[in-house]
Amino acid sequence: TIKLQINNKQCMAFPNETILSCARRHDIYIPTLCELDDIDHTPGTCRVCVVEITHSKHNGAQIVTSCNTPVREGMTVQTRSKKARDMQKLQVELLMADHLQDCATCIRHGDCELQDVAQYVGLTENRFFDRLLAESRPVDEASTSMIRDMRRCIRCQRCVAICRDHQGIDALVMEGTGNNRVVALRDSTDPMSNICVSCGQCVLVCPTGALGERDEIDKALDYICDPDITTVVQFAPAVRVAFGEEFGMPAGTNVEGHVIAACRKIGVDIVLDTNFAADVVIMEEGTELLGRLKEGRKPTFTSCCPAWINFAETHYPDILPLLSSTKSPQQVLSTIAKTYLPEKQDIAADKIRVISIMPCIAKKDEAARPQLGEAGKQDTDVVLTTREFARLLRREGIDLKTIKPSSFDNPYMSEYSGAAAIFGTTGGVMEAAVRTIYSVVNGKELDKVELTQLRGFEGVREATVDLGGPIGAVKVAMVHGLGDTRKLVEMVRSGEADYDFIEVMACPGGCVDGGGSLRSKKAYLPLAMARRETIYNVDRKTNVRQSHKNMQVQALYRDFLQAPNSEKAHHLLHTHYED
């Protein structure tokens, strides 16, 4: 080990450890902006982490960036000396000068890492205020789901790293020189060659408001406030366990009742649950899978993750026939809300608008797919990310923490099984499907409904499940994160992998850490475990743990759809993909 002093405190460091890392282990705070420990990203570009080395045998006194300067035996470091503080402040001032300073109009206002460091260094004026520099940089609004505002970019390149190293997409590059150096889509001159799949992982790590979803809060409010419109809100399995944090509740708090109450308070007419539709998806997808297994067609890929669909369509169009044709729960809910619900509740179908709250930005792409609407009208009218929903509640003056929780009251489309609840975490769709398929094949329920082999956090997990009857043992796998997905797809194409059924979630951890979730500053995916534990507990506490036992789902088939994969069900609940 190496001995050194930081702020007059004796510290022990590992060989080659950086000053920043050693300081952190000794609970000494140094401001950082570009650096992100969770993804091992220390490009040293923001220069906010400067500290003063007051003594070193090798180089003497100097100011250095602590994120990429290694410790040395006998070194003395000051992070809060006047010189260090002045230099940190100057760096932040320079960053601000090169950044659009219209903070109040920014999607990250009040939740921004640049604002945090500006406060930390005590920035009270900016001598280099010159917004013209930043204003000339591009705002890319070409995507349905996200906006890349390069006027707010500080060139930390976290987005470039996450897309390249973790998602394996490599859609982002640095382009231009000097003040006009920005992050751009690879081949940005040719929109047709866009390889971004809207997974939103780059948004989760962006420290400022440079990357964000396309904000549709006003569109939602327009519908909610229109007395002629019946607004239906649905919210995703993961939202209820990944939303309370925004309002100061512990990670993983189940705020289902709070979300329902908040929706009613802002004037939503009908609150439904995406979980209900997840049960319907299992009925459709399970039946489809069983049919394919009987025909010997394999593997079948799940199709509820829209960034995965974007990925398959753009990167591996030859595998599209392997994808389940069942629409995602979001789309199933919207379709049923506009067909079945009007029959049951005497509402004019053409007056219904569906707003969904999703931990995902690719769901905005999904909602806009032409094949998921009728006569040019989207089935899902507005998709709000979890972040947008939080901003909407703040705009309406609602504090989730103080609201009295409520419960679902719709008798047709709000009940859900434990199988639906676990859709929100990776492996959940697979587990839910196995529970129902086993029952269909054997006429009895599985003894042990929890498929614990699929519940780790490794990128690819697999299990062999005995479905009994003529089907017998099947090999199933689940993969999350697009880097591992690419590897698995390559193995399927080369014949190296012989799975029967594969669940894919584009975001590491699945929807509990989707690209539309709340952003955790200076961290990447730290809350997934707490959120998924709550989801598993919801499943354990739910009376009904299999989709086919959901009474409202049974009523839907009895009164409306006839049977899973019936002609009507096929027409309403299935889709196709296009390369």
Q: Which residues bind ligand HC1 (CB under 6 A)?
A: 236-238, 274, 278, 304-305, 328-330, 358-360, 363, 423-424, 510-511, 514
- Provide the b/e sequence for 528-557 (b: ≥16 CB within 10 Å): bebbbebbbebbeebebbbbbbbebbebbb
Distance CA 69, CA 281 (A): 53
* 269 within 8 A of 232, measured Cβ to Cβ: yes
Residues 6+ apart with CB under 8 A from 544: 417, 418, 550, 551
Angle of helix 113-121 versus helix 82-97 axis, rounded to 10: 140
The item of ligand SF4, ligand HC1, none sharing an interface with residue 188, based on CB under 5 to 8 Å by kind, is none
Q: Give the DSSP H or E segment for 418.
A: helix 418-421
CB of 329 to ligand HC1, least distance (A): 3
Residue 168 or 373 having the CB closest to ligand SF4: 168
Nearest to 226 by CA among 355, 61, 68: 355
> Toward ligand HC1, which CB reaches closer, 43 or 373?
373
Q: Give CB contacts under 8 A, 24+ apart, made by 532-535.
A: 532/241, 532/252, 532/424, 532/425, 533/252, 534/241, 534/252, 534/253, 534/254, 535/237, 535/238, 535/241, 535/421, 535/422, 535/424, 535/425, 535/428
Nearest approach, Cβ of residue 67 and ligand HC1 (Å): 34
> Which of ligand SF4, ligand HC1, none sits in contact with 199, Cβ below 5 to 8 A by type?
ligand SF4
Is the Cβ of residue 252 or residue 514 nearer to ligand SF4 in the bound state?
514
Residue 196 binding target from ligand SF4, ligand HC1, none, CB below 5 to 8 Å by type = ligand SF4
- Positions touching ligand SF4 (CB under 6 A) are 162-163, 167, 169, 171-172, 196-202
Q: Which is nearer to ligand SF4, 286 or 514 (CB)?
A: 514
Closest contact distance (angstroms) between CB of 216 and ligand HC1 is 15
The residues, ordered by sequence, that sit 6+ positions from 457 with a Cβ below 8 Å of its Cβ are 509, 528, 529
> Smallest distance from the beta carbon of 236 to ligand HC1, in angstroms?
3
Least distance to ligand HC1 from the beta carbon of 478, Å? 12
**Closer by beta carbon to ligand HC1, 188 or else 330:** 330
> Smallest distance, Å, CB 274 to ligand HC1?
5
Is there a cis peptide before residue 299, judged by omega within 30 degrees of 0? yes
Chosen from ligand HC1, ligand SF4, none, partner binding at 162 (C-beta under 5 to 8 Å by type): ligand SF4
Q: Which CB atom, from 167 or from 234, has the smaller least distance to ligand SF4?
A: 167
Give min distance, CB of 253 to ligand HC1, in A.
16
Q: Which residue has the tokens 């520099």?
A: 133
Q: At its nearest, how many Å lie between ligand HC1 and the CB of residue 362? A: 8
3-state DSSP assignment of residue 369: coil
Q: Considering the complex, what minimum distance in angstroms separates the CB of residue 471 from ligand SF4?
A: 36
Q: With CB cut-offs between 5 and 8 Å by kind, which of ligand HC1, ligand SF4, none does residue 286 bind?
A: none
User: Cβ contacts of residue 261 below 8 Å, gap of 6+?
Assistant: 403, 404, 405, 406
Beta-carbon neighbour count of residue 389 at 10 Å?
Answer: 29
Q: Which is nearer to ligand SF4, 184 or 336 (CB)?
A: 184
Identify which of residues 6 and 204 has a Cβ nearer to ligand SF4 in the complex. 204
Q: Which of 38, 40, 22 is nearest to 30 (CA)?
A: 22
Closest to ligand HC1 by CB, 160 vs 507, is 507
Nearer to ligand SF4, 201 or 378 (CB): 201
363 binds, among ligand HC1, ligand SF4, none (CB under 5 to 8 A by kind): ligand HC1
Through-space distance between the first and last CA atoms of the chain, rounded to whole angstroms: 56
CB of 384 to ligand SF4, least distance (A): 18
Residue 293 to residues 298, 301, 490: CA-CA distances in angstroms? 7, 12, 22
CA 298 to chain centre: 29
